[in-house]
Amino acid sequence: MSPELHQPIARRESGEDPYRWLEQRDTPEVIQHLQVENEHTDAWMAPHAELREQLFQEIRGRIRETDLGLPSPKGTWLYYQRTEAGAEYPRYYRCRRPADQSLHIDTSTEQLLLDLNQLAENEDFLELGDFSVSPDQHWLAYSLDTQGNEVYQLYVRSLLNDEIYSLPLENAGGNLCWANDNRTLFAISLDDSARPAHLWRLRRDEEPVRVFDEPDALFYLSVYRSSSEHFICVSSSSKNTGEVHFLPADQPEAPLECLAARQTGHEYDADHGEQGFIIRSNSAGENFGLYRCDPATPGQSNWQLLCPADPAHTLEDVEVQRDALILQYRCDGLCRLDVLPVGADAYQVQMPDAAYSLHVQSGEEYQSPQVRLRYESLNRPAEIRALNLKSGEQTVLKQTPVEGPFDPEAYRVERLWAIADDGARIPVSLIERSDASGSGPLYLYGYGAYGASMDPWFSHARLSLLDRGWRFAIAHVRGGAEMGEYWYQQGKLEHKGNTFSDFIRCAEQLIEQGKTDPGHLVIAGGSAGGLLIGNVINQRPELFRAAVADVPFVDVWNTMNNPELPLTIGEYEEWGDPNEPEVAARIKGYAPYENVSAKAYPALFVTAGYHDVRVQYWEAAKWVARLRATRSNQAPLLLRTQMSAGHGGASGRYQAMRDIAEEYTFLLTVCSV
C-alpha cells in the first residue's frame, strides 16, 4: 500500500486544519489521493469479490426488472413509466385514457415521452429533476443534472412534433412550473452559494425574465402550482420561517402578492382549493394549526381558523382535494391521516402494522373522488392504495413485487422504546426473522436532523442481511420529528447533544435486551446522519463493531466557519452561528473531525460524492485521513469516493445495487471475524 494511505500528509501552513489541502478541488494531488483511497478499497474488496457478486445477484434477483408503473390520469391521457431488464433508468410514456376511465394501458395509442437510458448514453451520471406536462398536454418540460452537483439544464419538448428546445437559464435548479397559457414556465436559479434564490419567467425563443429575488441567505426559494391549478405559488423558507407569494396561473405576468409577510419564527405553507388558500401555520402553537384565506384579501389578519394546533400531535402536512382535506399528523412516532370530506363527517385512516410509513402520494387529479396512499413497513414492500374520500374504503392498486421466495410473515416487526438519559422515550423500529432468538448481528440506522422523520421502510436488499440472521433497527432520535415538532426542537442548536446520547442509549438498550452485543453491532447513517455516526464512535468506540458513514457531514466546524461554501449560511438555524462564542464551543465539542483521538475505532466504511454540493467530498476524505493518522488500531478503514456523483450517490439502479452489495460485503466480512 502507498505511504500516503498509511501516513496521510498533514500540512499546517494553511492554518490549524492539517488536511485542508484536500479541499483544493481538481488539483492533481487531491485527485491522486482520492484515487489511492479508491484503489485501497478495491484491494480490500478483491478477496471478497465472490461474496459481493453473490449479494448483487441476490438483490437484483428480488427486483422485478421489467415492470410497469401505476398510471396517473390527466384529462384524456394516462401517464406512466416502464423499467426494463438491463436498463439503468425508466422510460416515460403516455396513452389515451379508456372511455371507462380505468387505468388500462392502451399500447395502440402509446407515446414515448422521455427515455433516460438514451440520454444517459454519453453521461457518467444522469438525474431527472422535474417532469411537468403543460395544462393542454401538448408540451413536456423537464430538467436534467449530468454531474450530480444539482445544477440542471432545462428542456421543453413538443408532444405533437417531438421538437426539443433548450431553455437558456444558467445555474438552474430542477424546479419547473407551467402557467395556464401553455407557453410560460416559471423556474428557479441558484446563486453563487448554490442556494435557490431567483425566480424566472421563461418562454420558448425568448430571453428569461427575472420575476423575484430572495436576497436573504437563510432562505430557499421554490415555485409550484396550487392543487386547484388556479395559482402559481412561490415559497421562501428558512429553517424556522416561511413566506408565500402568489399570482393567478391565468395571468403569468401579474405581480406577485404576499399571503403573509415573514416574521422570524413563523413557519407556514399554503395550497389552494375550494375553500381558498389552505394554510398550515405555527403562529398559535408549535404543533401547527390549519387556516383558510380568501385570495382576494391576503394578509395574516384575514386568516380564518379551521383546526387549532393540537398540543399532543403535530400537523405535518395537508393534501388539498376538491372534495376533502387530508391532514397528516405525527403521533407517537407514526403518521396518522385524518380526512375532512366536504359535507360528511371526518374520519381517521386505519393501518394494520405496528411500525410503518404512510403518506399521500400524487397521481390523482384534483377533482378525483379518491387519493392515493403509499404504505409500507419493514416487512411489507410498498403498496399504493386508493382511498375513497367519502367512504374511507381502501383498495390496493399496486404492490411492489418481491421476486423469488418471500413471505412477510417470516419476519417479525416490533416497536421498542429506549429510555434517554433525561427520561425521554425514544422509539426504535426493529425487524428480525420470526424464528430469531438470542444475540446476533444488528444493523442500527440513525439520522436525527432537520426535522426529517425516518419512518420504517422496506428494502429488497436488506433481506440479504435478515436471511443471514441479522436484525435491522432504526433509532428515531431527537432532531428528527418522529414524535412531533417538539422532538425536532429538542435535537437542534443547544439541544444537539440529545441526538447523540439518544442513539447511544438505543444501542445500549438493544444490547441489554439481548438483541445484539458490541462485537456484532453495526451502525450507519448518511449526511447529517454521518455526523451522528462520527460523533458516537468518538464517544463510545467500544460499543460498535463497525460503522457506515455515507457522504457524512463530519467536518461541521470548518464548514460552518466558511460562509462561501454552498448552503452554509442557511444552516445557521439548524446548528447555530459559529461567530457566537457559546455556539462555537458547542460545535467544536461535538464535531467528529475535530475530536478524533488516539483510540481504537470500529471498522469503518465511508462514502463521498465528488460533485456533492450539500456535503463536500473533502469532509469524508479529511476525516478518514485524520483517523488513519491518529487512531490506535488498524481495523479496516475504507473510503469510496464516487467521482461522477453527488449527494445521492450513483444514478443508475444497477450501480446503486452494486454499491449496496459492496457495503454489505464489508459488514458481513468484518462481523464474521
Q: Which residues are catalytic?
A: 527, 612, 647
For 673, residues 6+ apart whose C-beta sits below 8 A from its C-beta are: none
Cα of first residue to Cα of last residue in the chain, in angstroms, is 22
| Strand ordering across the sheet containing 347-348 | 314-321, 324-331, 334-341, 347-348
For 340, the enclosing helix (H) or strand (E) is strand 334-341
Residue 599 neighbours by CB under 8 Å, 6+ apart: 541, 631, 632
Q: Give 202's contacts (C-beta < 8 A, 6+ positions apart).
A: 154, 167, 169, 184, 185, 186, 187, 208, 209
Cα angle at 417 between 413 and 423, to 5 degrees? 170
Helix, strand, or coil (residue 603): strand
The Cα-based distances of 481 to 219, 267, 269 in angstroms read: 21, 15, 17
Neighbours of 530 (CB within 10 A): 28
Cα 313 from Cα 351, distance rounded (Å): 18
Q: Which three cell numbers stand for residue 160?
A: 405533437
Instruction: Report the run of H or E that residue 618 belongs to, with start and end.
Output: helix 617-630
Residue among 585, 588, 561 at smallest CA distance from 572: 561
Phi, psi of 88 (to 5 degrees): -70, -30
552, three cell numbers: 457524512
| Residue 142, all three cell numbers | 423537464
Closest CA to 616 of 587, 655, 640, 646: 646
Rounded (10°) CA dihedral 388, 394, 397, 398: 140
- Amino acid letter for position 62: R
Please, are residues 77 and 137 in contact by the beta-carbon 8 Å criterion? yes
Residues 534 and 541: their CA atoms lie apart, in Å, by: 10
Residue among 419, 424, 437, 438 at smallest CA distance from 507 = 419
Contact between 155 and 141 under an 8 Å Cβ cutoff? The reply is yes
DSSP code of residue 541: G
Q: Which residue has the cell 442500527?
A: 444
Comparing CA positions, the residue from 315, 311, 366, 322 lying closest to residue 336 is 315
Could you give the angle at which helices 653-670 and 28-45 cross, rounded to 10 degrees?
A: 60
> Judging by DSSP bridges, how do beta strands 394-399 and 637-642 pair with one another?
unpaired
Q: Of 590, 547, 332, 348, which Cα lies nearest the Cα of 453?
A: 332
Q: Measuring CA to CA, which residue among 538, 405, 427 is closest to residue 476?
A: 427
